[in-house]
Amino acid sequence: MPFRKIFLVAAGALSLACAPLDTSNAAPVAPASATPAPGVQKLPPARVKATLDDYRQWLNTLGKRDAVAGLATAVVIGDKVVFEGTVGYADAATKEPVTPKTVFRLASLSKAFATAITGLLVDDGKLGWDTRLIDVLPYFKLKDAHASDQATVGDILGQRLGLPRNTYDNLLEGDVPYQELVRKLDEVDMTCGIGQCYGYQNVAFGMIGDVLFARTGDFFYHLVDKRLFYPLGMTTASYGLAALETSKSWARPHHASRRGWIPFTPNETYYRVAPAAGVNASLRDMEKWLVAQMGGRPDVLSPSLLKVLHAPGVATPSELHATPWRRGRLTAAHYALGWRVYDYGGETLIYHAGAVAGYRTMIGFFPKYQVGVVTLWNSTGPTPSGLMPMVLDGLLGLPHVDWAGLEHAPPPSRPVRKAAPKHKKAVRHRKPSHH
């Protein structure tokens, strides 16, 4: 497959500087702090350079094998983008290439924007992490009356509401309105008491939008736009399907067929729970988001707020066995507030992944070294998800493992799926945003 790559790697690897990014259309951005946060350590420059060189080769192989429709990825250290790469197509039918400004659906990476805006409003005194849901949402009720009285903002954002995993995602995908589903939570048997166990949610997580509207009188997406997207210069970031489709360049979702990657019409489903899975953004936007999450934009996200957002909360033991790289590298896993916290090879990794029909996303960083990776792609398949842990292994100096399967002989052919219909009617895919 023809593929396009853009790499911005420090010419002087010892300084880890990179060519300046195009910010001609960006909102005013305050200078990032040049002083490393206390306790931040510098990775060996030679190790960083070797890892980025390897990453270039892995992406070359990914493109040659046609293992992804399109992909955009970056590595950020401190406030510098030290590596930026793209592979493949935003639309395989028209051969429009992916660029760093191509907009993707973020799926569950959206949750960190919801927790960040909530944290800013907590700092403003509009609400607290311990604000009870029954004091804000007249409709809120769980099957256990005592649990209804106890449940807080922190419980829904920390995935510890006591509900079974992915409650009502199946009905959301069946086009049952969100407003109806949150009013049916009292029909669900709880798996544990409030705060006592992990149960990943999208529908219940979406209630934070109702909470913030009740406390501010402003729509959730307006708040995120004003307090996060604009000040961070995330000029292509948005909420909703219409915003995605009106972006100057946007990645169509794809599935595999005998004719190669086939684009299909994205669906509306998880946009209906915007705080959980509603954000669209480009790689350039997500580079800025990584800088901010690693402490480089204290004017937007303060160190004290980041400490709260990234603090490990409820244990997530299922994460320790979810994939080969998790089994091989993780020794502890927790959910924080819109983020996962892993013990990865002896280091703390702040991480999240996302999945909706035809899109996959991953983001992660080591606070100790202020180094992070973000990857966005617009097709299904397991290969790209193994790339990030390979980069993380290289940065930490861990033994190399081919988590993506790129160093083995490729399979004879991609699994065959039914070709998309010739008309433009939406093709339904039932893959929940469960990461």
Long-range pairs of 29-37 with CB within 8 A, sequence gap ≥ 24: 29/231, 29/232, 29/233, 29/288, 30/231, 30/297, 30/299, 30/300, 32/78, 32/79, 32/291, 32/296, 32/297, 33/79, 33/295, 33/296, 33/297, 33/298, 34/79, 36/78, 36/370, 37/295, 37/303, 37/370
pLDDT of residue 381: 83
Q: What sign does the dihedral 171-173-175-179 (CA atoms) show?
A: positive
pLDDT of residue 415: 46
The H-assigned helical ranges of 99-251 are 111-123, 145-150, 153-157, 169-173, 178-181, 207-216, 220-224, 230-232, 241-245
Element (H, E) at 85: strand 80-91
> DSSP strand E in 278-370: where?
279-282, 330-335, 340-344, 347-356, 359-366
CA distance 380 to 233: 30
pLDDT of residue 224: 98
pLDDT of residue 36: 53
Angle between helices 207-216 and 111-123 (to 10 degrees): 30
Long-range pairs of 147-155 with CB within 8 A, sequence gap ≥ 24: 147/190, 147/193, 147/194, 148/186, 150/193, 150/194, 150/195, 151/194, 152/194, 153/118, 153/127, 153/128, 153/129, 153/208, 153/211, 154/129, 154/130, 154/337, 155/194, 155/195
pLDDT in tens, the chain (435 residues): 544 444 443 323 323 333 223 333 333 333 333 345 668 999 999 999 999 999 999 999 999 999 999 999 999 999 999 999 999 999 999 999 999 999 999 999 999 999 999 999 999 999 999 999 999 999 999 999 999 999 999 999 999 999 999 999 999 999 999 999 999 999 999 999 999 999 999 999 999 999 999 999 999 999 999 999 999 999 999 999 999 999 999 999 999 998 899 999 999 999 999 999 999 999 999 999 999 999 999 999 999 999 999 999 999 999 999 999 999 999 999 999 999 999 999 999 999 999 999 999 999 999 999 999 999 999 998 899 999 999 999 999 999 999 999 998 765 554 444 444 443 333 333 344 445
Contacts of 185 (CB under 8 A, 6+ apart): 140, 141, 142, 143, 163, 167, 168, 204
pLDDT of residue 408: 80
**DSSP 8-class letter at 321:** G
